[in-house]
Structure 1
Amino acid sequence: MKKNIINALFKISFTFYSLFLMGSILFKYVSPIGLFSDDRYFARSINLIPFNDVINGYYNSLDVWGNVILFIPLGIYISIFFKKSKIYKNIIKIAVISLIFELFQYILAIGASDISDIITNTFGGIIGISIYLIIKKILKQDDKVKTFISICSSVVMIPVTFILLALTIYN
């Protein structure tokens, strides 16, 4: 019974995080339905120079640190899903997922594709992997780690859900 509850919490929190991640990256300017509208927001640019904005004096801390923070949970989830993988392989998975998001932004013309985002996203994922390894070292057993992560992510998910609902209602 307890294991079923933990598995359900884990699946719900992972699904919530995945949708939140997609919404934050792919649908921050246009809704999924809005993609098919003729009068929607179109923006397509690509930057292949790492931290070009920062170099040119356009430092946006929310953009940089937001990307890092947004991908920390992905590092934790990847570590849980692929616990037998080498760490560098999990880092590559995170970088590829970030690259896919950037490619979709470019293909769908819904934002700027930036190598800096891939770097900061991957750095966030590495922090997440590190957090997972610390938790695993402390708790030792995979079931305990999954239980801890499921409970923590559910606790975070509840206020985030209320904030998102409040923002949606307010706007």
Structure 2
Amino acid sequence: MAIVAVFALYAAFLLRLLLFSRAPGTERSINLVPFATIAGYLAAHSPGEGKVAFGNIVGNILIFVPLGVYASWLRPRAAAWLTLLAVAAVSVAVEIVQNVFGVGASDVDDVILNCVGGAVGILAFRLLSAILRERSVVRTVMAVLSLLSLPVWCYFLFVVRLHL
């Protein structure tokens, strides 16, 4: 129950961050050229641009790590590539919704970075499962880790004012 509750908080934060942090119609752009935005970020020369670039790249990766973990926990017998495909589908859906409602820049690089984060989460869960071996022990560790992350997700969801 704890795992599901914390996953729900994470999902709510993800929706708030990706779809409800900007006013509808404020931004509508699309990039379908892989690695174009990432290359632009890596070529940033000013410290301010570098911080934005770092935050965007690392943020897009980190925010999808929990999705990879939770998706793996929900379907532990599924092949890793199928779980990664589910993470990619969520990311693509978010990019489409952002474009339709004009609440963010739709960018294939975001999908790539989100998939990297999802893959890290999938690998972390697989590693945890391989080390612990018993499903009941994995479930207990996941519940404890979820409960430990609960204050973080509550803070992000209810306290942090997102200014994107």
SS in structure 2 at match of 1:85: coil
SS in structure 1 at match of 2:160: helix
TM-score, L = length of structure 2: 0.85
2:47 aligned partner: none
Cα distance in structure 2, aligned partners of 1:43 and 1:138: 45
Higher Cα Rg: structure 1 or 2? 1
1:99 has 2:92 as partner: yes
- Larger RCO (alpha carbons 8 Å, 6+ apart): 2
Structure 1 moving runs of 4+ over 6 Å: none
1:21 aligned partner: 14
1:118–1:162: structure 2 CA closer, same or farther, 3 Å change rule?
closer
1:89–1:166: structure 2 CA closer, same or farther, 3 Å change rule?
closer
1:20–1:164: structure 2 CA closer, same or farther, 3 Å change rule?
closer
1:122 aligned partner: 115
Deviation per CA, 1:33-59, whole angstroms, max 9, x where unpaired?
xx5xxxxx5211100112323323345
Look up the equivalent residue of 2:66 and give its one-letter code: P
Cα distance in structure 1, aligned partners of 2:94 and 2:8: 17
Q: CA RMSD in A?
A: 1.7
- TM-superposed deviation, 1:95: 0.7
Cα distance in structure 1, aligned partners of 2:128 and 2:85: 21
SS in structure 2 at match of 1:25: helix
| Unpaired runs of at least 5, structure 1 | 1-7, 36-40
